A and B are shown apart, each in its own frame.
Chain A
Amino acid sequence: MLSKGTGLGRRIPKPWLLAAYGVAVVLLLIAPMFLSDFRLNLLSKFLAFAILALGLDLLWGYTGILSLGQGVFFGVGAYSMAMYLKLEATGGKLPDFMSWSGIDKLPAFWAPFGSFGFALAAAIALPALLAFALGWFTFRNRVRGVYFTILTQALVIIAVTLFVGQQGYTGGTNGITSFKTVLGFSLSDPNVKTALYYITAAVLIGSFVLCRWLVSTRLARVLEAIRDGENRVRFFGYDPAVFQSFAFALSGAFAGLAGVLFVFHVGIISPSMMGIVPSIEMVLWVAAGGRGTLIGAVVGTLALNWSKSLISEAYPDGWLIFLGALFIVVVVFLPRGLVGLFGSAVDFIRRRGKRHDRIPYRPVVPEGERQL
């Protein structure tokens, strides 16, 4: 099924869609005026997560590959930037946790991270390379679907064990923390925080526009075709492995970028933030918002994280139950997510006037998933 546009664009008239995007951008711009410092910081964090969700949506929603390993790429990006921030805080000297674990010289691979440019480049390139390598070695052999998903999950386990185990280089369970400045600006200054918020919002909007453009290209047609019928794409002479690895690497890059921004806002990165549970939660953001729509990934991320902080403030134990129930409800009743629900409502309203030519709604289950 090579239909153009799996998103909302098909259902909602373009002027309305553009107006909605405009309202969203304005809301993002004026948010600092209404939110307390604490809430603004939360929102910044969620906007960073939304960038990761965009990449995951390209991978899962458009290419049909479910990765439970996004936490690793997020973590690698965050650690790269954290290494820079740590070195800046210590003035290029040995970080405290290293001397605790008996290392007396800065490890060679830490040294280049003293440069901001290198750290930023590494934060995006390293996860992308890691993802490409893993993708290439698995997709080339047509290991896919659930097998690939399990491999990505194993990747999370080994990454977490590695980061916890190599305490001298990574800070172990505590991770890397106590940063002071970025490029000379104090991280605790409210003005810097607001500036970082705007930077995050701008990166998110930029990423969204980039993804929107990407899904309008022929590349996205191929990705969707792989999702819907991989073998047919192969018979047409394409090599799906190249495209799948590319999509995986791209999602890794987005996750790394999200990690960078996350470190700025939260001021700490530890293995528990890249583990199995966070990685699976990331998938739920996309699923709850509606996969294959891009905007759904953003909406889902913001809605879920916002409700997570509200619920766990009110009932500390309630979040897990709520999250668990949400997994079940989304999968069974809302396979197209919140945005899909909205789309169905729009369909319903538009068709009310001409009920006689109403076409029964048929959910689109990608062929690839049916076969697996």
Chain B
Amino acid sequence: MEVWILQLFNGISVSSILLLVALGLAVTFGLMNVINMAHGELIMIGAYTAYVVQHAFLAYAPKASFDWYFVLALPLSFAAAAFVGWLMEIGLIRFLYGRPLDSLLATWGVGMVLQQAARSVFGAPNVAVTSPSWLNGGLDIGSGLVLTYKRLFIIALVLAVLTAMYFYIYRSRAGRNMRAVMQNRDMAACLGVSTRRVDAASFAIGAGIAGVAGCALSLLGPIGPSLGTYYIVDAFMVVVLGGVGKLIGTVVGAAGIGITSTMFESWTSASLGKVLVFALVVAFLQWRPRGFVAMKTRALDGQ
């Protein structure tokens, strides 16, 4: 019984990290159809922002307030990654709309340059980030089961980001414009929506969420220039499995991949578990080729 609860908690925890990493992609890939291979590097930027904020607190803030650096690091990570994302959009991505394979190659190039830049600024080895002390320890739920606060915090953070995104996309004017532009660009433009600005803003928001993910990942272990590349392919799988264009699909995809992979990995080995998950995703696509939740469309080629 305890094993099952722990398994489930691990699964949910892995899912929440996958979801956090994939939420940004749900905007840039899911809504805008841009394959942003530099997404991993935007995550890395968020993580390094947390690192820099922490060092700034060590150097300038009173010692007692150190624990609160993380509260400042979260919005700053969002801002830093969103700014880089915005620069990418106005400098490169805007020329590549409608050419997803080209955007894949070009953003891969951007990712490489960003990674090398991080390597020259922060050095190639990983750096450690000290987590705030209020996140150390865990919740003891009896019979030797401890749910660590860090994982619980990340689950809460994912819920918060998800809620914020829901309200932005489905309940705000800006979000309505965004959906309108993604669904029918010409019609939205006719009705006075500045599609250029909506594109740039959407991409920046997707990038910013990647930054938040990076900030959260800095809680879990050391961070380095190749931090994002570990997560990027899994995150794309989440979006493909969940289906494009709806937030709920991303949630389902992350839960599916996260829970099944922890299950398989505990039954077999880590490497065989990955193979099984992949086989399962391909099998799933036999049943629903467009992912779990797909936008309904009558267009011949979909999306």
* Residue contact A323 to B112, C-beta cutoff 8 Å: yes
Q: B98: which of A134, A328, A370 is its contact (CB, 8 Å)?
A: A370
* Residue contact B96 to A331, C-beta cutoff 8 Å: yes
* Residue contact B233 to A157, C-beta cutoff 8 Å: yes
| Interface residue A364 (Cβ < 8 Å from any Cβ of B) | no
| Interface residue B119 (Cβ < 8 Å from any Cβ of A) | yes
Write the B45-72 contact mask toward A (1 if CB under 8 angstroms, else 0).
0000000000000000000000000000
* Residue contact A161 to B116, C-beta cutoff 8 Å: no
Docked complex: A125-169 residues within 8 A CB-CB of B: 134, 137-138, 141-143, 145-147, 149-151, 153-158, 161-162, 164-166
A369 vs B95: C-alpha distance in the bound complex, in angstroms?
14
Interface size, A (range) = 35 or more
* Residue contact B109 to A153, C-beta cutoff 8 Å: no
Q: A320: which of B33, B35, B116, B289 is its contact (CB, 8 Å)?
A: B116
CB contacts (< 8 Å) of B95 on chain A: these are 332
* Residue contact A161 to B270, C-beta cutoff 8 Å: yes
* Residue contact A158 to B274, C-beta cutoff 8 Å: yes
Q: Least Cβ distance of B125 to chain A in Å?
A: 15
Q: A327: which of B105, B234, B301 is its contact (CB, 8 Å)?
A: B105
Q: Least Cβ distance of A320 to chain B in Å?
A: 5
Asked whether A150 and B108 contact (CB < 8 A) given A138-B282, A165-B272, the answer is no
Asked whether A331 and B106 contact (CB < 8 A) given A158-B275, A158-B278, A369-B99, the answer is yes
Q: Least Cβ distance of B264 to chain A in Å?
A: 12
* Residue contact A166 to B102, C-beta cutoff 8 Å: no
Write the B221-248 contact mask toward A (1 if CB under 8 angstroms, else 0).
0000000010001101100100000000
* Residue contact B236 to A153, C-beta cutoff 8 Å: yes
Asked whether A143 and B285 contact (CB < 8 A) given A151-B240, A157-B233, A320-B116, the answer is yes
| Interface residue A253 (Cβ < 8 Å from any Cβ of B) | no
Residue of B nearest to A229 (CB): B301
Write the B277-303 contact mask toward A (1 if CB under 8 angstroms, else 0).
010011001100100000000001101
| Interface residue A280 (Cβ < 8 Å from any Cβ of B) | yes
Residue of A nearest to B113 (CB): A324
| Interface residue B141 (Cβ < 8 Å from any Cβ of A) | no
| Interface residue A215 (Cβ < 8 Å from any Cβ of B) | no
* Residue contact B105 to A147, C-beta cutoff 8 Å: no
* Residue contact A165 to B271, C-beta cutoff 8 Å: yes
Docked complex: A86-136 residues within 8 A CB-CB of B: 134
Q: A326: which of B109, B111, B272 is its contact (CB, 8 Å)?
A: B109
Residue of A nearest to B34 (CB): A146
* Residue contact B101 to A317, C-beta cutoff 8 Å: no
A164 vs B236: C-alpha distance in the bound complex, in angstroms?
22
Residue of B nearest to A155 (CB): B278
| Interface residue A269 (Cβ < 8 Å from any Cβ of B) | no
* Residue contact B116 to A317, C-beta cutoff 8 Å: yes
* Residue contact B104 to A146, C-beta cutoff 8 Å: yes
* Residue contact B100 to A324, C-beta cutoff 8 Å: no
Q: Least Cβ distance of A265 to chain B in Å?
A: 26
A13 vs B285: C-alpha distance in the bound complex, in angstroms?
48
| Interface residue B90 (Cβ < 8 Å from any Cβ of A) | no
* Residue contact B35 to A146, C-beta cutoff 8 Å: yes
* Residue contact A328 to B109, C-beta cutoff 8 Å: yes
| Interface residue B184 (Cβ < 8 Å from any Cβ of A) | no
| Interface residue B135 (Cβ < 8 Å from any Cβ of A) | no
Residue of B nearest to A150 (CB): B236
Q: Least Cβ distance of A150 to chain B in Å?
A: 5
* Residue contact A150 to B233, C-beta cutoff 8 Å: yes
* Residue contact B101 to A142, C-beta cutoff 8 Å: no
Docked complex: B108-138 residues within 8 A CB-CB of A: 108-113, 115-116, 119-120
* Residue contact A317 to B120, C-beta cutoff 8 Å: yes
Docked complex: A313-346 residues within 8 A CB-CB of B: 317, 320-321, 323-328, 330-332, 335
| Interface residue A66 (Cβ < 8 Å from any Cβ of B) | yes
* Residue contact A137 to B286, C-beta cutoff 8 Å: yes
| Interface residue A231 (Cβ < 8 Å from any Cβ of B) | yes
Q: Least Cβ distance of B229 to chain A in Å?
A: 7
Residue of A nearest to B279 (CB): A158
CB contacts (< 8 Å) of B120 on chain A: these are 317
A138 vs B285: C-alpha distance in the bound complex, in angstroms?
7
A246 vs B272: C-alpha distance in the bound complex, in angstroms?
28
CB contacts (< 8 Å) of A327 on chain B: these are 105-106, 108-110, 112
Docked complex: B172-229 residues within 8 A CB-CB of A: 229
CB contacts (< 8 Å) of B101 on chain A: these are 66, 145-146, 149, 369, 372
Write the B72-96 contact mask toward A (1 if CB under 8 angstroms, else 0).
0000000000000000000010011
* Residue contact B109 to A157, C-beta cutoff 8 Å: no
A164 vs B272: C-alpha distance in the bound complex, in angstroms?
11
Q: Least Cβ distance of A276 to chain B in Å?
A: 7
* Residue contact B282 to A335, C-beta cutoff 8 Å: no
| Interface residue A371 (Cβ < 8 Å from any Cβ of B) | yes
| Interface residue B143 (Cβ < 8 Å from any Cβ of A) | no
A284 vs B47: C-alpha distance in the bound complex, in angstroms?
29
CB contacts (< 8 Å) of A137 on chain B: these are 282, 285-286
Residue of A nearest to B112 (CB): A324
Q: Least Cβ distance of B292 to chain A in Å?
A: 13
Residue of A nearest to B275 (CB): A158
Asked whether A231 and B301 contact (CB < 8 A) given A283-B105, A328-B110, the answer is yes
Asked whether A166 and B271 contact (CB < 8 A) given A141-B286, A142-B289, the answer is yes
Q: List 9 A-B contacts (CB under 8 A).
A: A145-B100, A149-B35, A154-B236, A155-B278, A161-B271, A276-B229, A320-B115, A331-B103, A372-B33
6 tightest CB-CB pairs across the interface, nearest first? A165-B271, A327-B109, A324-B112, A141-B289, A324-B113, A331-B106
Given pairs A151-B281, A151-B282, A372-B301, 14 additional interface contacts (CB within 8 A): A66-B101, A141-B286, A145-B101, A154-B281, A156-B233, A162-B275, A166-B271, A231-B300, A276-B229, A317-B120, A321-B116, A327-B108, A331-B109, A370-B99
